[in-house]
Amino acid sequence: MSIAEKMAANQKQVAISEFFEKNKHFLGFDTLNRALITAVKEAVDNALDACEEARILPDIIVKISKLDNKKDILQVEVEDNGPGIPRASIAKVFGQLLFGSRFHAIRQSRGQQGIGITGVVMYSQLTTGDPTHVESKIAKEATAVSVDIGLDTRKNKAIKSNQDRIDWGEKVHGLRIRTTMKAKYQRGRQSVWQYLRMTSIVNPHADILFIDPDGEKHHWQRVTERLPGRVEAIKPHPKGIELGQLQRLCSESTESRMTTFLRRTFSGVSQRAAKELCEVSELEEKLKPKSLSAQQVRALLEAFQGERQLKGKSVKLLNPPTSCLSPIEELLIKKGLSKTIDSKFVTTMTRAPSVAQGNPFQVEVGLIFGEGMTADKPVEILRFANRVPLMYQQGGCLLTKAIESVDWRQYGLDQAGGRGVPKGPAAILVHLASTNVQFTSEAKEALSDNETVMEEARKAMLEMGRGLRKHLEKQKKMGKTKEKFELINDIIPAIAEKSASLLELPVPDLAASITKIMSAVIAETTTTWNKATKQTDVHITLYNYTSRARSYTMLVNWPERQGASMVNNNLGGRKEAMGVWAWKLETLQPGVQTVISYSLADLEKGDWNETDVFYRGSQEVIGATKMDEKLLEEIRRQEEALNAPLPEDDEPLDVNESSDDESVDESEPNAPPSDTMQTTLFGGDY
Amino acid sequence: MAERKSIEETKTALHDVVREMYDRIVKGEPPTMTLPVRTKNNIGFDAKLGVYKYGRKQTIRDATSLGSAKQLLRALHVIEFIESMIDDGKSSTLREMYYISEGWGLGKFQSQNESNNLAEDLEIVTRCLREDFKLRPEEDGARMIGNLTLRERNRRGEWMRINARDDVGDSGYGVPYNVEAEKIEFLEHDVNFIMAIETGGMFDRLVENGFDEDFKCALLHLKGQPARSTRRIMKRMSEEWDLPVVVFLDGDPWSFRIFASIAYGAIKTAHISEYLATPTSTYLGITADDILAYDLPSDDLSKKDIEALNAELSDPRFADGWWQEQINMMLEVGKKAEQQSLAKYGLDFVTETYLPEKLQALGL
């Protein structure tokens, strides 16, 4: 079976067409502007999901043209290079509402957020009476299918017309949709442009071309060839299940024993837990799940939720695996932000996966700061759920609240009273990846409150804030170092010369004055991309402006974990810890400079723009930070933890006696301990 | 006491500044320039002179930071420039010097303010006047109307006799930037006092109403914060002709400062207070109680106004009881009023009612 066919086979159907007509207001079609964004969003989200599943780097073209100005009739065309949809499935995909694998599989996907492409077909038909034109080509067929899709909204069925086969020339696979609708094209914060811009930030692997109604082209290029990690569907977790769902799972089960059923149907249930669950819900282990009465199902659910307890404790469950999540990851967020917003400093933070109410989730944040953005306005907030931009209801969204809960003043942004959206030349990105994104309403534009998620998001913000503060402090320090250099290299010699000439005396020797003025060792660091070698060159120049010889150990951070390698290291040195390199410099003579230089290979441009330099030694080094040995210890400890052999899958975690809520927060044993996933070790205080 | 210096004295004084920097470098120390602290915390009343002067607090500007090192370098350039002007018999405006500094490379000024301040620094350190440095202000002198006769040496070097009532138009006699004896001599007058006025509108009102003749006084337009030459000519007239000076300003914190600079000396120019300030001058209005007594149209004090008033409370020049009372009253009332708000009661109210009442209270 081809990928396309497999995907289609997963689809199940739900009849709900009529529902749409009555409820289009909260399905994203309430205003003419929003209807357009929703239409583009449904098509693009599908394209990205399909490409991701089929492991294809997406090329997406969106074109909007005006058909009838007076009546606000627009034509929307979306084309992708995805796997295409087999002929037999086209009618189902486009003609039945709430049709799709995403409602049944537990994993992170974009599509779960929308009513689906069928909504677009329906909206088009309702506002213009026209069907939607679909062309689809799958790799194993020589020609593409071309068909017009209309809807029988009462029967929840597609009406196909003008079916044909056409030649697509070079293009091997993909999907083209062309639909007309009553809609308005607007610019600004809530626009197709903004949606695509945001989409491109969190999908750095996608190439998106947008042609607006004026014919202007907006092109967001692919900045990485790396596809998002493959996400696996996971079994539901007992904590995240509802009664109806549990009933269905029981009645559809073919297992012959409750314990096997529990272990095989759910994630996080060990053999011991399965037995204990049966015990507390007063079910025979040998019972057939199919035979459970409504009463018994309810008892089981109570056991799941910890309402039924064994010796005063709820049954211990493991956390669900987090392999079902696909974070964007820090380097890629960095790239995504950098390509769309032209600014200097980017800091990102991907938290370790966590679990809330049985649902795995993961928070990622990014912050871009610098010139080119307005300094006296609130920062731009870029919210995403499962890589889908959220563009409405910013104020009511959990992610916004997480930003607002941080006192940004301590990190260098303006914020009245230390609450609310901060002001400054910055944009903050927040991404929630989860198998079950909870929205405040059907409109699916704002995430609803959840303490666990909020706390994770807040922690991520704090970490990122520290990164920003560190950057600003460093900027300041670098500015000071630069000033010192100007002082001793230019100004003092000029004063000496001018005063000598006015007094008609010889120019005095400056060395002693300069040493007095500087009385420090100075480190100047540059990190630059070398076009020719495709490497990142780092130079650290040390000047000893004190009156005696000094000895130091200099240390740097470098992206070892991101797969970089260190080459052309002139002074050798040694590895101090994961991502930390050190050089011992025995003697720095007064008035002499020493250069450490090396290059980082196996990185792309923009991956590494700033190197942090640390020192060990008694006298301060301007331009470097004193090494915090505790921090280094921490890095080493986590490195060990990462390399340690992992416990067996089915063994319950040896959690200390604690409340049930806390044990939920423990990670699955086959995922690394949560802290080792944090990569901004240098973002902390020291 | 600041006095005019000879060319040689000026050059020697400037060289002393250079010498301080040079010697420090020779000693292996960062170069420095020592000068008095120029804030309100370092001005004190000089009983002998009757004005406020800088106290003993010194600040050492040393070249350990980029900013002060640049200041030192600029000072050297300015000194070199002054010497060349002295040698060539030229002079320049401060603004011209600012533009000339474009060619000074690292020693170039970033703003006109910087060059003005540096010229003042050098005045203070060398005890010379900027006239000795051949530097002229850009600032526009005041204008004057009244029965005063003086003679001014014009640019051809001839003395011109001018009566500031009969020989001038409605805009009055324009006070030149140099009002020293080599430029202006006072001959005779027939006035009882000099009235200094903040705004042009009020000056013109009094001129139109013939106030100078009715009350036998000279009117002087300050144009806001008065220029050095304006303060200097007031000082000379009040001293040489023994005339009282009354000062008629808006009723706001900034006017209080203008008065302080006229009567007691400005903080910025405290090194030459005895040369610029008129200790016998009197504040006529608008006072804080005028706002209430005359029920004048007023504006609420802004945040900056309040800050300024609070700063004045701790300014030694406003330490006396009357000023403390006025400042506190204004803070309490929370209002300020302009001179021209007197027009509420008609155009003649100021000349027929307000000023006569106020002058009577002062015994004039």
Q: For residue range A419-439, what is the model confidence (pLDDT) as tens digits?
A: 889 998 888 999 998 888 888
B23: nearest CA partner in chain A: A508
- pLDDT, tens only, A392-408: 888 889 999 999 999 99
What contacts 24+ positions apart, CB below 8 Å, involve A568-573?
A568/A597, A568/A598, A568/A599, A569/A597, A569/A598, A570/A595, A570/A596, A570/A597, A570/A598, A571/A596
Q: Shortest CB distance from B15 goes to which of A498, A500, A503?
A: A503
Which chain B residues are Cβ-neighbours of A508 within 8 angstroms?
22, 25-26
- Average pLDDT score over chain A: 81
**Residue A656: what pLDDT?**
39
Instruction: For chain A, say whether B24 makes contact (Cβ under 8 Å).
Output: yes
Are the beta carbons of B22 and A512 separated by less than 8 Å? no
Burial-class residue A658 by CB neighbours within 10 Å (0-12, 13-18, 19+).
exposed
B286: cis peptide before it, omega within 30°? yes
Least Cα separation, residue B12 to chain A (angstroms): 11
Residue predicted with more confidence, A339 or B30: B30
**Residue A403: what pLDDT?**
92
Is pLDDT at A101 greater than 50 in this prediction? no
CA pair distance A26, B136, nearest whole angstrom = 74
- pLDDT, tens only, B268-320: 888 888 888 999 899 998 999 899 999 999 999 999 999 999 999 988 889 88
A28 CB-side CA count, 13 A: 25
CA pair distance A647, A662, nearest whole angstrom = 20
Highest mean pLDDT among A322-326, A548-552, B134-138, B158-162: B158-162
- pLDDT, tens only, B86-99: 898 888 888 899 99
- pLDDT, tens only, A378-396: 999 999 988 888 988 888 8
For chain A, percent of residues with pLDDT exceeding 90: 25
Q: Shortest CB distance from A502 goes to which of B24, B63, B80?
A: B80
Residue predicted with more confidence, A251 or B364: A251
CA pair distance B186, A546, nearest whole angstrom = 64
Is pLDDT at B64 greater than 50 in this prediction? yes
- pLDDT, tens only, A439-490: 887 777 888 888 888 998 998 898 888 888 888 887 887 788 788 888 888 8
Are the beta carbons of A491 and B77 separated by less than 8 Å? no
Instruction: For chain B, say whether A15 makes contact (Cβ under 8 Å).
Output: no
- Average pLDDT score over chain B: 89
CA pair distance A34, A40, nearest whole angstrom = 10
What contacts 24+ positions apart, CB below 8 Å, involve B91-96?
B91/B134, B91/B135, B91/B136, B92/B134, B92/B135, B92/B136, B93/B135, B93/B136, B93/B137, B93/B138, B94/B119, B94/B135, B94/B136, B94/B137, B94/B138, B95/B138
Mean pLDDT of A93-99: 67
Number of neighbouring beta carbons within 10 Å of residue B127: 16
- pLDDT, tens only, A557-581: 898 877 889 999 989 899 988 889 9
Mean pLDDT of B202-217: 92
* Matching residue, tokens 């696996």: A232
- pLDDT, tens only, A237-285: 888 888 888 888 888 888 888 888 888 888 888 888 888 888 888 888 8
Q: Which of B11, B23, B26, B29 best tests the A interface by mutation, with the highest count of A CBs <10 A?
A: B26
Residue A392, CA distances (Å) to A38, A363, A643 in order: 11, 20, 44
Are the beta carbons of A499 and B29 separated by less than 8 Å? no
- pLDDT, tens only, A169-184: 888 899 999 999 999 9
Is pLDDT at A58 greater than 90 in this prediction? yes
**Residue A649: what pLDDT?**
41
- pLDDT, tens only, A108-163: 656 554 467 888 888 898 889 899 999 999 998 889 999 999 888 667 778 888 98
**Residue A216: what pLDDT?**
93
- When pLDDT is cut at 50, 70 and 90, the band that residue B167 belongs to is very high
**Residue A667: what pLDDT?**
37
Beta bridge partners of A385: A388, A432
Instruction: For chain B, say whether A567 makes contact (Cβ under 8 Å).
Output: no
- The ipTM value here is 0.75
Amino acid at the residue A557: N
- When pLDDT is cut at 50, 70 and 90, the band that residue A342 belongs to is low
- When pLDDT is cut at 50, 70 and 90, the band that residue B230 belongs to is very high
Least Cα separation, residue A497 to chain B (angstroms): 9
Which chain A residues are Cβ-neighbours of B15 within 8 angstroms?
502-503
Instruction: For chain A, say whether B18 makes contact (Cβ under 8 Å).
Output: yes
Q: How many helices (H) and strands (E) does chain A have?
A: 17, 24
DSSP B350: I
Which chain A residues are Cβ-neighbours of B74 within 8 angstroms?
none
**Residue A4: what pLDDT?**
60
Mean pLDDT of A661-666: 38
In sign, the C-alpha dihedral spanning A215, A220, A226, A228 is negative
* Collapsed DSSP state (helix, strand, coil) of residue B37: coil
The number of residues in chain B equals 364
- pLDDT, tens only, B238-264: 999 999 999 999 999 999 999 999 998
